[in-house]
């Protein structure tokens, strides 16, 4: 990536940004805070459009392909939403007034003032049934209405009641109950009419407005680029970043349009530089992971897209771990690939990623002999899996061992990667020391968790790894001039062991998924044992239970699979995920 500054005549701002948009390679960054009336108008338009589209999508209507004027549709939809909001507020107020007046019926508030002039004072009150307040001498209580929850009554007194503590009710200024009911009916009808018109708009204008949203984003990006240009006398300057492979295209455009350009290497303290990942086409589906999670390596950080794709797919297989689910997902992905096609790169990446993870689930479930949590004895030998992973006697211990092995390999790979990229021998040996220490922790986790032993059962080889790793870290992996690093060093050793233990979640989540599926299968079996007529309910229990289990397994992949890559692995890889996406200013192709 190169940092570029482009100089043009101030009168050519619009034309320069237009040419940049056609070029489509420069990630523009404002040199001054962009501000203009047009930009403010576009941002307000975008805010209104986002609100309208959110309202349309919440209605879950089926959009048709009718061509409409998006600007006119947006204006009408905004007006309807504003009117609907006002109607809802008015309806809430009218409904509240009806509820307040319902126990009393219609009456005239002015009549109370006239009675007070004649020396008769009235206070409208409400209490729990049978709990009347103390009233002054000469006063009387007249019950108006009574329910199980409250009793409504009037306190009538020849003396003023202003200083008497009474449970008075709050009533609206207008106390004609009939008029409030008519108002409520009218507001409901108007609200229904607005909603029907909004539904019609959503059906006819949804696609046009979604396309308009993309055009509006493009217009806002154009306005920000134009208004973010710095100016000095008759010259305007546009700043940004361009991938080095596109630098020649920018030079040719500069010669064609008469610009002056300056390009330079990225400074070490430049935090605005975007990240443009160059992922091999075979692994391009990894981009879908970054887009979904919303993370990106920093410009100076290592591109771990291939590693994340491989290990997340492996984790997905272990966390779900049901070959029946994997076969179902694989069929769905193949159907979607055939039905939707793969012409759109983003859609192709998502479908390929889904197919890859489905095959991993199918493969791991097959190896463990797990097909919809059916008993292994009822499965044919071909589907029973490998005895090392499927035998009930020792499979749990082997799966735990496999989890710790994957964790040690995953994180030591990160340390080896950093050792290869280290600028000097001392830094490289420091990472090697941490990698050795990780494998020593693998053997410790095996002894404590898998074998159920103690520290005395740790072998000579593992103790040697601890000693070599510990000494290597102390000599090469610690900056003794940095007191923060020195103070935190004991916790780093502890966290290194905890990181290896953290991979046990692959076993725990997978096992919980198996138990949930088995529980629903047992419930279905019990229903069948009651009567064959229970088969419809049996199928309902099976379908609902396995759908719930699939949803929980999907959450497990999102939580635990992503975590192991973005926390444990990234901690040893020194990834902060602080990258900003490379978004060049470009014209949308229609």
Q: What is the pLDDT of residue 163?
A: 81
State which of 235, 264, 293 marks the end of a domain: 264
The residues facing 156 across adjacent strands are 122, 140
Q: How many domains does the chain have?
A: 3
Q: How far apart are CA 444 and CA 442, in angstroms?
A: 5
| Same structural domain, 502 and 564 | yes
60: left (phi over 0), alpha (psi -120 to 50) or beta: left
| Same structural domain, 155 and 233 | no
| Same structural domain, 403 and 470 | yes
User: Is 287 a member of any domain?
Assistant: no
CB atoms within 10 A of CB 242: 24
Phi, psi of 264 (to 5 degrees): -150, 165
Q: Computed over its alpha carbons, how large is the radius of gyration of the chain?
A: 35
| Same structural domain, 209 and 155 | no
Q: What is the pLDDT of residue 589?
A: 54
State which of 237, 264, 291 marks the end of a domain: 264
User: Is 555 a member of any domain?
Assistant: yes
| Same structural domain, 76 and 121 | no
pTM: 0.80
Q: How far apart are CA 36 and CA 41, in angstroms?
A: 9
| Same structural domain, 481 and 567 | yes
Q: What is the pLDDT of residue 143?
A: 92
Phi, psi of 273 (to 5 degrees): -65, 130
User: Is 416 a member of any domain?
Assistant: yes
User: Is 333 a member of any domain?
Assistant: yes
The residues facing 157 across adjacent strands are 121
What is the maximum span of the chain, computed from C-alpha positions, in angstroms?
A: 106
Phi, psi of 374 (to 5 degrees): -75, 150
Residue 110 burial by CB count (10 A; 0-12/13-18/19+): exposed, middle or buried?
A: exposed
| Same structural domain, 120 and 67 | no
Using DSSP bridges, classify how beta strands 235-242 and 230-232 pair: parallel, antiparallel or unpaired: antiparallel
User: Is 183 a member of any domain?
Assistant: no
| Same structural domain, 392 and 505 | yes
**How far does the chain reach from its first CA to its final CA, in angstroms?**
28
| Same structural domain, 120 and 237 | no
Q: SS3 for 348? A: helix
| Same structural domain, 389 and 307 | yes
Q: Among positive and negative, which fits the CA dihedral 171, 172, 175, 176?
A: negative
Q: How far apart are CA 136 and CA 50, in angstroms?
A: 61
User: Is 580 a member of any domain?
Assistant: no
User: Sheet harboring 121-127: ordered strands across?
Assistant: 121-127, 151-157, 140-146
Torsion of CA 256, 262, 264, 268, to 10 degrees: -130
| Same structural domain, 69 and 114 | no
| Same structural domain, 373 and 247 | no
Q: What is the DSSP string of 374-431?
A: --GGGS-GGGS--HHHH-TTTHHHHHHHHHHHHHHHHHHHHHHHHHHH-SSHHHHHHH
User: Is 181 a member of any domain?
Assistant: no
The stretches in the chain having pLDDT less than 50 are 590
User: Is 336 a member of any domain?
Assistant: yes
Q: How far apart are CA 322 and CA 399, in angstroms?
A: 14
* Domain membership of residue 228 as a residue range: 2-84+189-264
The residues facing 115 across adjacent strands are none
């Amino acid at each position: 990536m190169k940092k570029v500054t482009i100089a043009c005549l101030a009168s050519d701002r619009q034309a320069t940004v237009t040419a940049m948009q056609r070029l489509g390679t420069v990630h523009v960054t404002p040199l001054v805070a962009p501000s203009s009336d047009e930009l403010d108008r576009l941002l307000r338009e975008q805010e209104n459009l986002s609100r309208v589209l959110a309202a349309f999508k919440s209605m879950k209507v089926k959009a048709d392909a009718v061509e409409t004027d998006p600007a006119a549709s947006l204006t009408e939809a905004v007006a309807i939403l504003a009117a609907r909001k006002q109607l809802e507020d008015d309806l809430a107020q009218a409904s509240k007034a009806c509820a307040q007046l319902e126990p009393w019926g219609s009456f005239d508030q002015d009549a109370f003032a006239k009675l007070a002039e004649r020396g008769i004072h009235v206070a409208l009150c409400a209490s729990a049934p049978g709990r009347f307040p103390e009233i002054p001498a000469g006063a009387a209580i007249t019950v108006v209405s009574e329910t199980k929850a409250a009793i409504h009554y009037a306190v009538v007194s020849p003396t003023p009641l202003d200083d008497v503590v009474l449970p008075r009710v709050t009533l609206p200024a207008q106390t004609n109950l009939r008029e409030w009911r008519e108002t409520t009916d009218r507001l409901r009808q108007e609200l229904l009419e607005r909603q029907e018109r909004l539904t019609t708009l959503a059906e006819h204008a949804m696609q046009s407005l979604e396309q308009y949203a993309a055009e509006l984003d493009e217009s806002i990006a154009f306005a920000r680029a134009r208004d973010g240009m710095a100016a000095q006398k008759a010259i305007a300057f546009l700043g940004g970043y361009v991938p080095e492979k596109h630098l020649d295209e920018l030079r040719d455009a500069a010669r064609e349009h008469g610009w002056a350009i300056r390009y330079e290497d990225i400074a070490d303290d430049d935090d605005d530089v975007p990240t443009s990942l160059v992922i091999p086409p075979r692994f391009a589906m990894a981009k879908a992971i970054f887009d979904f999670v919303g993370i990106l390596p920093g410009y100076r950080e290592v591109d771990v897209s291939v590693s994340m794709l491989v290990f997340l797919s492996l984790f997905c297989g272990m966390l779900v771990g049901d070959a029946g689910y994997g076969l179902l997902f694989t069929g769905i992905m193949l159907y979607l690939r055939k039905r939707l096609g793969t012409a759109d790169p983003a859609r192709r990446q998502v479908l390929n990623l889904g197919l890859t993870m489905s095959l991993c689930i199918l493969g791991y479930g097959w190896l463990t002999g797990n097909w919809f949590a059916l008993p292994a004895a009822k499965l044919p030998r071909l589907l029973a899996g490998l005895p090392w992973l499927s035998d009930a006697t020792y499979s749990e211990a082997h799966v735990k061992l496999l989890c710790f092995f994957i964790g040690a390999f995953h994180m030591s790979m990160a340390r080896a990667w950093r050792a290869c990229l280290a600028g000097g021998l001392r830094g490289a040996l420091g990472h090697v020391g941490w990698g050795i220490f990780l494998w020593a922790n693998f053997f410790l986790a095996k002894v404590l968790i898998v074998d159920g032993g103690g520290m005395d059962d740790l072998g000579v080889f593992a103790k040697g790894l601890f000693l070599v790793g510990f000494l290597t870290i102390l000599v090469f992996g610690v900056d003794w001039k940095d007191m923060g690093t020195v103070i935190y060093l004991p916790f780093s050793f502890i966290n290194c062991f905890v990181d290896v233990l953290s991979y046990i979640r692959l076993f725990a989540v997978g096992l919980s998924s198996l138990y949930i599926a088995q529980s629903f299968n047992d419930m279905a079996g019990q229903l069948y044992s009651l009567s064959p007529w229970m088969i419809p309910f049996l199928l309902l229990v099976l379908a609902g239970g396995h759908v719930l289990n699939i949803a929980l397994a999907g959450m497990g992949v999102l939580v635990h699979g992503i975590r192991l890559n973005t926390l444990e692995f990234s901690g040893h890889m020194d990834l902060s995920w602080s990258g900003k996406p490379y978004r060049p200013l470009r014209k949308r192709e229609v």
